[in-house]
Amino acid sequence: MFGYIVTYPEALSQERQQRFKAMYCGLCRTLRKRHGFLTSSTLSYDLTFLALLLNALYEPGERTARERCIANPAKQHDYVLTPVMDYVADMNIALAYHKCRDDWYDDKNPISAGEAALLRRAYRSVEKTYPRRCDAIENWLVQIHGWERDNVLKIDLPINATGRMLAELFVWPEQHAFVQELQAIGDGLGRFVYFMDAYDDLPGDVRRGSYNPLKPLRDREDYEQLCKMAMMAMVADAADAFERLPILMDADIIRNVLYSGVWSKYAYIQNKRGGQNKGA
């Protein structure tokens, strides 16, 4: 959904990159099996990270195999299946469905409306199983749309709402000793991805006259430093919560994401803007 929770491949060995990719492929396979072939196109690395995290925390057992698929028809590739993937695949459907509806709300793009219609049946199934999670996503979007409609330019409101929503989705199962840590990881990453998205979109939103809660801050002399420090604090909250978990399996990949990968988009933005931002 967000596209910011990714690995930094340059700091991972080829073997560990393949491990992350095998988790991605397993989640893709799970999506196809649970919700139909077309739904696999909605998969993101963000949800692969969640599958990796939950699998590393609970170590419920996993199965590795090889297959060819439509994305890689000429070559077999590894995939990993674990019990956590059913839950993560369902959350992927819930987020993807509401993203399509949100895109339709923002742009009235008929393609987005069509994609939402294709996902509706799968979403209704997920909604029956996880009503609280789906309510959290729906309530989050209602709040976001309200602030957009009323042009409420207070960045704390949408970033905190996004944090609360993702905190809800990161907890599985609902009753477990590590609920607070999982919520804190989801909350920190949720706040980060909303802020990063607003930061990335700001120049275009200013040109178009579109809503962006960072607009009141853009003329501050310390704007760039302020944004970077705020995002660093959000990621630090997620990383601190992760370090409190008793995780050994795939800890190197998870740390790669939290300490390096999430900054890939920031580095891209800086390069795209020619490195001319003050304080970057």
Within-domain flag for 271: no
| 251-277 average pLDDT score | 89
Cα within 13 Å of Cα(202), Cβ side = 20
Q: pLDDT tier at 278 (50, 70, 90 boundaries)?
A: very low
- The region, left, alpha or beta by phi > 0 then psi within -120 to 50, assigned to residue 154 is beta
Contact 160, 173 (CB under 8 A): no
Residue 184 domain-assigned? yes
pTM (2 d.p.): 0.94
Q: Give me the chain's average pLDDT, please.
A: 93
* pLDDT score at 104: 82
The pLDDT tens digits of the residues spanning 184-222 come to 999 999 999 999 999 999 999 999 999 999 999 999 999
Could you give the number of structural domains in the chain?
Answer: 1
Structure tokens that stand for 29 in this block: 């396979």
Three-state DSSP state, 67: strand
Mean pLDDT over 34-49 rounds to: 92
The Cα 62–Cα 55 span in angstroms is 9
Q: Kindly report, residue by residue over 70-87, the tens digit of the pLDDT.
A: 777 778 889 999 999 999
**Is residue 232 domain-resident?**
yes
The CATH number that applies at residue 235 is 1.10.600.10
Q: Which of 274, 66, 82 is nearest to 172 (CA)?
A: 82
* Domain presence at residue 1: no
Angstrom distance (rounded) from CA 122 to CA 101: 14
Range of the domain at 248: 9-261
Spell out the residues 6+ positions from residue 259 whose beta carbon is closer than 8 angstroms to its own: 239
Specify if 135 maps to a domain: yes
Specify if 4 maps to a domain. no
Q: Does the residue 275 lie in any domain?
A: no
pLDDT of residue 279: 41
Residue 3 lies in a domain: no
Question: Residue 255: pLDDT above 60?
Answer: yes
Q: What is the DSSP string of 194-218?
A: HHHHHHHHHHHHHHHT---TTGGGT
